[in-house]
Amino acid sequence: MDYRVKKVGDGWEFLPKKELDEKLGYERLLNNINRREKKIESDLDKIKKLKEELREMKKKRTLQHHQLLKYHKEFSPTFSVSMSKNKKLRGGDSNEGMFHTTGNRSWTIYVRVSGKRKPIYLGTQLKVNEMLDLIEGKSDYYINLHPHKRPKHEERIKNKIEKIVYPLIKRDMLECLDKEGKMDSFIDSTIKGMKYLKELYLNSGFYEERVPMDPKFKGKFTTYNPMFLKKK
């Protein structure tokens, strides 16, 4: 329906001012309605396009959700670290009989992933303590801790291992998962945990390369003199 009011005679000039103002206001209203209708049509086209984009986004969401479920299923590891304190029973001569040794006190990290439990041997107590000192540029802090005797010392070393070693294990696990889509090769492989401590020491800023030993001393018991250490 055309809501325009047609002109009569020569125009509207003959109308009183009040009626003329109403006529002009009415014309503005019609123009606004026309512009709004065109805007709605334009917005409807945009909404249609947005809905198409939304459908594509939801398709991607479904695919990525399935991918994340795969990662969650394959890669939801839990970690724990413990120190072996078991003493070994050893037989002596007829006078001494059986006795317990201090045993091989050592640290092991256990990773549980994909329903399997994998041990990663980190190293002996003394070697781990020594490496932690090297990583932090200290000379006699960790080496003087006694985790097999003092629970506070054990907890301190555990916390340190969790903080610096766990992320490196997770990194290797993710690389395996990205490459193969599963964790089988990581679980079935033999991993020496000491490599992580050596990597941390190498990148710590405190790494010192030892000067090669003189061949004439090879096979003899020697100690390294700090004078023969050089910064890398």
* pLDDT confidence bin for 87, thresholds 50/70/90: low
Domain boundaries, the chain: 78-85+103-209+226-231
- R_g over Cα of the chain: 39
17-63 pLDDT per residue, tens: 777 778 788 888 989 999 999 999 999 999 999 999 999 999 999 88
Q: Are 224 and 207 a contacting pair, CB within 8 Å?
A: no
Please give the single-letter amino acid code of residue 131: M
CA distances from 77 to 163, 170, 198, 211 (A): 15, 8, 23, 41
Confidence grade of residue 113 (pLDDT, cut at 50, 70, 90): confident
pTM for the predicted model, two decimal places: 0.56
Amino acid at 175: E
Higher pLDDT among residues 68 and 151, named by residue: 151
> Is residue 5 predicted with pLDDT exceeding 80?
no
pLDDT of 75 reads 66
Q: Is the pLDDT of residue 71 over 80?
A: no
Q: Is the pLDDT of residue 10 over 70?
A: no
Nearest to 206 by CA among 170, 169, 231, 178: 231
- pLDDT at 224 (0 to 100): 42
Residue (of 113, 136, 85) closest to 191 by Cα position: 113
Q: Could you report the per-residue pLDDT of 150-175, keeping only the tens digit for each? A: 999 999 999 999 999 999 999 998 88
Percent of the chain residues topping a pLDDT of 70: 72
226 pLDDT higher than 50: no
State the average pLDDT for the chain. 79
Q: Distance between CA atoms of 26 and 1, rounded to whole angstroms?
A: 16
φ/ψ of 110, rounded to 5, equals -110, 125
